[in-house]
Structure 1
Amino acid sequence: MMDRYTNPWRANYEAIAVAVWLLLAAFSFASAPHWRLHTPAFHAFSLGAIVMALTWLPGALRMRTARRALNGRPLAFVTAEELAKTMHRVKGQLWLGKGFEWERDQAQLAHDLLRVGPSRLAEVSLTAIGAHWLHGLAPREKDLAVPLSTMEGHLLVVGTTGAGKTRLFDLLVTQAVLRGEAVLIIDPKGDRELRDNARRACALAGRPQSFSAFHPAYPEHSCRIDPMATFGRHTELASRIAALLPSETGADPFKAFGQMAMSHIIAGLLLVAERPNLLKLRHYLEGGVDALVERALVTYCRQVNPRFDAAATIGKARDSIARVQALIRHYRQRVAPQQPSSVIDGLVNMHEHERVHFSKMVASLMPVLVMLTSGELGPLLSPDPDSDRDSRSLMRMTDLINDRSVAYIGLDSLSDGMVGSAIGSLLIAELICFDLSMFGSNYCLTTSSSLSFFENVVLGPVMANTLAQGTQ
């Protein structure tokens, strides 16, 4: 903090004084022979004038330097290797770059400069973004770092396109990777440079195998991810998908019916020890639940009575409906009076529901499921972990957090906003299942410039974005 404040944006009187004294010195020295006076006196006056000019010179140079600083500074680049060295200097802190602390003196300087007008003292660029004259408010810049404990909450990064949000994310993700933390990048736009920088950060940290990338537009280069792999109760899975349906009142009967139907199907799949996924939900909602009801009834009856003979109960029934009806009669007559099951009751009610009415009630749900299971998205979002036919890696959120891996998820929302928003919502919903506080300073960083679903938001704590060969 300065002991005495001097407004550097006023006229440079010091430079004028230097010029006047130098002119007097030159005039006195040059004209000494032409006067009928003692010449050494003129020389002595010239020397004194030079001394006075030198006295005023430091102040003039300070004023000039302060004004030149208003033109901004050239872009500074730091490699990932240099950033790793910088982290040792600010151990235990998050390095944000070079800058200065905004204090009373900077506020006064900015106030005085705005009264004069920065354009009168600094070069004005029609293409530059931001107020570059801010760099002239401090004589020198130093490392800016914040304690890691301050990053445990949420962080909002706001800026127009090209303002440097991605460069900030580059710094954050590289430091998080080098600290060995779990990193999840949710990129609604799908930035290839962002993905490549994250991969290079993992290579620098000595764990390139910990990086995974998901992008629906490039299925051949994408890992598989199951947004329904982690849940506490089976109803959570149905709630995640139902939340994707638009609802004006929040009490839409079609949405409620669809959520109930999905809950019954998911509970039935779990009863028969089968992993639920989006493809199976679509299959049973479109084609009917007869096959699932039959398997669930046989499984539950055997759980209640290990000697249960399904073939004897079904008898000579050949078609699926007849077999299901025989199993339902057995369940209601022999099993339900002593050991009823809410799962079986729900599936049976779905089976007996009028088919046309059922199709109409779940009609609002089908577009979402079709979007998430069509084409290459089917095996990407509904992977079979036991299949050997798909060699693409399988990423689970539990593995991401527990193994402290790095994942890039490009949602391709600029070209397909509905699908991107749906995938992002499902993944965020699954992350909520984790108690991230037990994993320390992990981060989830989300970046966007045009998507209403994630408008320039950084979620914390699970983090992301990138650095690499060079960052601003």
Structure 2
Amino acid sequence: MSSGPIDNVFRPPYEWATVVAALLVAGAVLARPAMFLMTPLQACAAAVAMVLLASWRLLQARRVQRFRRAVRELEPYALRPTEVPWSKTSVFLGRGFYWTARHTQRMTLLAQPENEHLREPTRLYKWARSLERKPDAPAWLTRWTTRDHPLNPVRPLPPVGGNPALHGVEIDEEEIHTALAELNNHMMVYGTTRVGKTRLAQILIEQDIARGDVVIVFDPKGDVDLLLGMYASAVRHGRAAEFQLFHLGFPEISSRYNPIGNFEQITEVATRATGPLPAEGQSAAFKAFAWRYVNVIARAMAAVGERPDFRKIYAYGVSIDALAKRYFTYWLDRNVPGWKDKFDPFPTKEQKDLVQKAEKNGRDIELLLLAQFFKTSGYQDAIFDAIASVLANDRTYFEKLVNSLYPLLEKLTTGKVADLISPEYDNTEDPRPLLDWMSVINRGGIVYCGFDALTIRDVAEAVSASMLADLTSVFGRIYKHGSTYGMSTGEGMRRIRLHADELNELIGPEFVQAANKGGGAGLFITGYSQTAQDIEAKVGSTAKAEQIGGNLNSIVMLRVKNIATAERVTDQLEQVRVFTRLQASGVSDTNDPTEMADFASRNEDRIATEKVPMLDPAWLMKLPKGQAFALLEGGKLVKIRIPLPLPASEEGVPGTWRDMLTEMRLTYANYVAMNPDEGLTVEGSGNGF
């Protein structure tokens, strides 16, 4: 099998000659033992020896043939959800092998010109495909050529694209698992559109639900199979009662959720409400003004016992008078008994300037009188000072400073979405459940969050960012107060598995905190993105993007579209030495009349070594769909195939979901139709995952 230091597994299977010769000898010895001067017993022993030799060489020939076939095609790989293996201590990723220098050597061999025919389809295969394209081709013949059967020598190759040799350089696969504890350092999955990111998410989520973890999924676009798979898994493992749906596109059946209603520090409200505002260049100053304005409103609302939400923030932002008047009255009632006897609600002649100011700015005159009474009486209060500073500004001028806030709040408080993310907690007639993250963690919930980003992108980005900030606050409380914070039982800290598709849409300062501190609160993040540049563009800084990448220690890289993203894996790998064979020949002649030879020739095979990267970045741009390289457990490089989950059934889903599922499919189908080169076949065995 071995040909010197270079184990050329792609050479022709010369062992077949030995197999045939050994079997012929065995037959001849058994048929005519006397011809070979053997007794019958000796002939039997010799025949057995020849058969053993033939068997040994047959195994070697079959191995070479398997390698030569594997670099051109791979068998399909699919699993039913019930067949996905799971463990309390490890995470299943797929089937594959650990990539070593041996596989880099094989890729180098395969790139040689003499092996070019192995990478291309056979002439018979090309003829079959050409025949199928002809409109007048015999139907019985095309039915045979297109049949997906192992005995069909021209069956169509799986439509997964890429270079199958990247997995074909190893024929001995095994199940690939990584330690669950390693994911506490978080995982990042890169891959261009429609190459298998969501399918990998399904495999991981299935295991999380089976394990009993808290599972939270952020799905900006809305994948029907992902949602159905989650719900089916929850039913299968007896956790259907723990399942909760939040979807901006279908508020009538969604759980209600207030992204800014729960907080530990009141400043979190302003941070979440203004987080989506631009903060580059001159916009940073306007964002700071908007943040301070919302913070003043939130502090006053919290003081009078009113829970903040986007609708109220917008209403008070347009006109803070009602809230300010309510707060002044509340403070005076609480701290100055009998103050109403001292306060005159009607302006005097001396307060003519105050009346003019109220008329000019459209302020409530009684509010300004209250503010003046508060100030002249010498009362001290931080919230009053903040509100008074707002009232002291010219209203038109102040609105210009915070004007960037209004369009955002307008989008979040328009239509049915307003009732969804600004819920009335005391409305007992609304049957929709309320979503509260501490409650979800406490009871071990499963939450699918769909943001309908294909339809309402701005709202989706704002709500998803606020939701992540809210989650981060909860993780911070658990991290600060201990593993049993908020728990109603003595079970201790729960494991929280957060899957975030289109992670770049959620990235912000809060995410860095979640990734840093979330591990101590039991948080395991798996993020999904198309390129590393998506995250860099979102945060606006290479340094910040590297900071985020430093918190995502395990990397799974499917097919990507640019070198920079591929190098996030390849730059972490060492270089290896590979063998190269150089053929040399030469001829020398002689003029010595005493020599019988007129010339001498020589042929040499020289073997040298050269240093090359273990993984070429270009290879990651040629991966077939459903295949990936993974950098796990501190630098182990693994080549994996992701099993394709078979389509989830709608049986057992709530009847109220029917219209939602139909519309989600239609929306997603339209998206794929607009991106025809990104489509992914998900039916039958032809996808080859």
Instruction: Give the TM interval when normalised to the shorter protein.
Output: 0.7 to 0.9
Q: Distance in 1 between matches of 2:408 and 2:417?
A: 12
Q: Which amino acid aligns with 1:308?
A: G
Q: Which amino acid aligns with 2:468?
A: I
Conserved 8 A contact 2:103-2:170: yes
Aligned to 1:102: 99
Q: Which amino acid aligns with 1:11?
A: P
Identity %: 27
SS in 1 for 2:280: coil
Aligned to 2:466: 426
Deviations 1:329-356 (A, max 9, x none): 332233xx2x411111222332343222
Contiguous gaps of at least 5 residues in structure 2 = 122-156, 348-357, 484-492, 516-522, 528-643, 649-681, 683-688
CA deviation after TM superposition for structure 1 residue 62, in Å: 2.5
Q: 1:39 to 1:424 in 2, by over 3 A?
A: closer
Q: Distance in 2 between matches of 1:391 and 1:347?
A: 37
CA deviation after TM superposition for structure 1 residue 259, in Å: 1.6
The 10-residue stretch of structure 1 (460-469 or 267-276) with the greater mean CA deviation from structure 2: 460-469
SS in 1 for 2:469: helix
Deviations 1:434-465 (A, max 9, x none): 236544542221113xx85259x998635579
Q: Distance in 1 between matches of 2:88 and 2:458?
A: 42
CA deviation after TM superposition for structure 1 residue 269, in Å: 0.6
Aligned to 1:60: 61
Deviations 1:52-76 (A, max 9, x none): 7566433222222332333444333
Q: Distance in 2 between matches of 1:118 and 1:161?
A: 32
SS in 2 for 1:233: coil
Q: Distance in 1 between matches of 2:335 and 2:50?
A: 109
SS in 1 for 2:366: helix
CA deviation after TM superposition for structure 1 residue 316, in Å: 6.2
Conserved 8 A contact 1:152-1:441: no
SS in 2 for 1:81: helix
Match of 1:249 among 268, 271, 281: 281
Aligned pairs for 1:267-278 (under 5 A) are 267-278=299-310
Aligned to 1:299: 330
Aligned to 1:93: 90
Is 1:442 matched up with 2:486?
A: no
Q: Which amino acid aligns with 1:443?
A: R
Q: Distance in 1 between matches of 2:277 and 2:345?
A: 43
Conserved 8 A contact 2:186-2:525: no
Q: 1:301 to 1:107 in 2, by over 3 A?
A: same
Is 1:356 matched up with 2:396?
A: yes
Is 1:371 matched up with 2:371?
A: no
Aligned to 1:35: none
Match of 2:108 among 105, 108, 111: 111
Aligned to 2:8: 7
Q: Distance in 1 between matches of 2:225 and 2:207?
A: 18
Is 1:181 matched up with 2:188?
A: no
Aligned to 1:137: 169
**More RCO (CA 8 Å, sep 6+):** 1
CA deviation after TM superposition for structure 1 residue 428, in Å: 1.6
CA deviation after TM superposition for structure 1 residue 409, in Å: 1.3
- Root mean square deviation of aligned Cα: 3.7
Conserved 8 A contact 1:70-1:121: yes
CA deviation after TM superposition for structure 1 residue 156, in Å: 1.2
Q: Which amino acid aligns with 1:97?
A: G
Aligned to 1:453: 505
Conserved 8 A contact 2:275-2:466: no
Q: Distance in 2 between matches of 1:267 and 1:178?
A: 43
Is 1:172 matched up with 2:204?
A: yes
Q: 1:235 to 1:91 in 2, by over 3 A?
A: closer
Match of 2:320 among 289, 307, 311: 289
Q: Distance in 2 between matches of 1:118 and 1:313?
A: 96
Aligned to 1:332: 375
Match of 2:240 among 197, 205, 208: 208
CA deviation after TM superposition for structure 1 residue 284, in Å: 1.3
Q: Distance in 1 between matches of 2:245 and 2:420?
A: 12
Conserved 8 A contact 1:173-1:463: no
CA deviation after TM superposition for structure 1 residue 411, in Å: 1.5
Structure that is richer in helix per residue: 1
Q: 1:141 to 1:58 in 2, by over 3 A?
A: closer
The 10-residue stretch of structure 1 (66-75 or 168-177) with the greater mean CA deviation from structure 2: 66-75
Is 1:417 matched up with 2:457?
A: yes
Q: 1:389 to 1:189 in 2, by over 3 A?
A: same
Conserved 8 A contact 1:173-1:467: no
Q: 1:126 to 1:116 in 2, by over 3 A?
A: farther
SS in 1 for 2:463: helix
CA deviation after TM superposition for structure 1 residue 226, in Å: 0.9
Conserved 8 A contact 1:95-1:146: yes
Conserved 8 A contact 1:198-1:468: no
Conserved 8 A contact 1:185-1:463: no
Aligned to 1:260: 292
Q: Distance in 2 between matches of 1:403 and 1:355?
A: 48
Contiguous gaps of at least 5 residues in structure 1 = 33-37
SS in 2 for 1:157: strand
Q: Distance in 2 between matches of 1:324 and 1:130?
A: 70
The aligned length equals 449
The 10-residue stretch of structure 1 (101-110 or 252-261) with the greater mean CA deviation from structure 2: 101-110
Q: 1:468 to 1:322 in 2, by over 3 A?
A: farther
Deviations 1:382-427 (A, max 9, x none): 1121112322111022222232211111122223322221112111
Q: Which amino acid aligns with 2:343?
A: T
Q: Which amino acid aligns with 1:282?
A: Y
Deviations 1:254-284 (A, max 9, x none): 3222221111111111111100111011111
Conserved 8 A contact 1:215-1:222: yes
Q: Which amino acid aligns with 1:260?
A: R
